Amino acid sequence: MKRIAIYPGSFDPVTLGHVDVIKRAVRLFDEVIVAVAESRQKTPALSVEERVSLIKRAVKKVSRVRVESFNGLLVEYLKKKKAQAIIRGLRAISDFEYEFQMALMNRKLYPDAETVFLMPAEPYTYLSSSLVKEIVRLGGKVNCLVPDKVQAALNRKFRKKS
Ligand code: ADP
């Protein structure tokens, strides 16, 4: 049986922390599907198409990874993809409560799936998409924290608004 994992998130924008988690996940699974949530409620800075394309670019050289967008219930998407696991990243204790709640809720909705938590390499434990956006919004550089082209995409977005 092919072991398939889904790594869902907003990825607004993708950071090197996300990429680190993706690389760890492909060591454990035959295929990893990065599932970019449309997240209309969160009003993302980047469109879902932009987020998908930036991740595709970032994982171009990593084999067995697919990047797609999705909306609706994660567990339904898992069933459709015949995936057995959900990947989530854990950076600090502060992530734990929300992630724990989500994992147990998803288990309730679909008991056959397991949530697997992966910790990124240490330099990425303080890194979040919202912090990255805040830095760019204030005119700072995030090149060493995000994959290629992400800074440019955010610059375009925030310059347009100001
Ligand atoms: P969501 O809106 O679902 O929280 P995110 O894109 O913020 O979407 O995060 C997706 C997943 O990646 C979450 O499990 C989050 O904890 C994890 N994550 C975010 N940033 C990092 C990072 N720097 N290192 C490791 N995992 C991370």
Q: Which of 23, 66, 91, 149 is catalytic?
A: 91
Each residue's pLDDT, cut to its tens digit, for the chain (162 residues) gives 999 999 999 999 999 999 999 999 999 999 999 999 997 777 899 999 999 999 999 999 999 999 999 999 999 999 999 999 999 999 988 889 999 999 999 999 999 999 999 999 999 999 999 999 999 999 999 999 999 999 999 999 997 665
Tallying the residues shown for the chain, one arrives at 162
Which tokens sit at 72?
A: 């609706």
State the Cα–Cα distance between residues 50 and 62, nearest whole angstrom.
19
Which of 88, 93, 97, 134 gets mutated to test ligand 1 (max ligand atoms within 8 A of its CB)? 88
* Catalytic status, residue 18: yes
Q: Is the beta carbon of 106 within 6 A of some atom in ligand 1? A: no
Q: How far is CA 42 from CA 12, 48, 124, 159, in A?
A: 10, 12, 23, 20
With beta carbons less than 8 A apart as the criterion, state whether 129 and 13 touch. yes
